[in-house]
Structure 1
Amino acid sequence: MDDQSHQNSATENEMEHIEIIIGRILQIGVIIAAIVMLFGLILLLINGGNGGYPVGHQPTTISSILSGTVALKPYAVMMVGMFCLIMTPVLRVVVSIYAFYKEHDTLYVWITSIVLVILCISFVIGHTV
């Protein structure tokens, strides 16, 4: 086996490993989000439908979500679950950038990086609006 084919084989093995990691990230992210959401729902049922906030008000800032989660307020806990669910594909994009970088596929590194920037901008815009 020459150096080129050995290098190609190592790259293919690493890409397979990265694809497995990406799949696991998606699985684990969804499972964690579901568990957190279920915990928040159980808290909501225990509290008799009271989400821990006045009617029509939900935690929307990171600080209010974190403080509400520490206080075990059901709506805040469910918001953490939603945040985990939203961050799962974002983490997948980050890992994809790494995978494309390892493949020396600069076009897809740039494209995926632009997608990540757009996602980050949408979070900022969504938070401020």
Structure 2
Amino acid sequence: MQEKQTATAKEMAQVETIIGRILQVGVIVSAIVMLIGLVIFLVTGQSGYPGSTMPLSMGAILVGTWHLKAYAIMMLGTYCLILTPVLRVVVSIYAFYKERDHLYVAITTLVLFILLFALFIGVHGD
């Protein structure tokens, strides 16, 4: 019984380390992407879009990023930053499942659905 608790504690420590790394890497990657967009904006002096328009849909952001448009790259960095906690919730569901904590699996899954629903509304709503 003691060995099982020790193994579970070690595994949970590893999962917590992974969750921490996900948050660190997500923030660093999004900051780098946004910085690249900012540098392109400062060097060219143009956003890549006419007037005060900017890309809002994921398709427009990806196309604009492919064409090295500054605002699109900065928006991609923002999306990376937004998706970082969502990935953390997914890893948390796995961690609670491994602990056999079904109540927290259910609660965290509900949180994930709420996040995904909010993202869907943000993308498709006006």
* Both proteins in one fold, TM over 0.5: yes
Aligned residues: 125
Residue type of the partner of 2:62? Answer: L
Cα deviation for residue 111 of structure 1 reads: 0.3
**Are positions 1:25 and 2:29 aligned together?**
no
**What 5-or-longer segments of structure 2 have no aligned partner?**
none
Q: CA RMSD in A?
A: 0.6
- 1:108 matched residue in structure 2: 104
Cα deviation for residue 28 of structure 1 reads: 0.5
Matches within 5 A, 1:1-129: 4-48=1-45, 50-129=46-125
TM-score (norm 1): 0.95
Cα deviation for residue 55 of structure 1 reads: 1.0
Q: Distance in 2 between matches of 1:79 and 1:58?
A: 9
When structure 1 is superposed on structure 2, of 53-62 and 11-20 the one drifting more is 53-62
TM-score (norm 2): 0.97
Q: Distance in 1 between matches of 2:98 and 2:14?
A: 12
Q: Distance in 1 between matches of 2:63 and 2:23?
A: 27
Identical residues among aligned pairs (%)? 56
**What 5-or-longer segments of structure 1 have no aligned partner?**
none
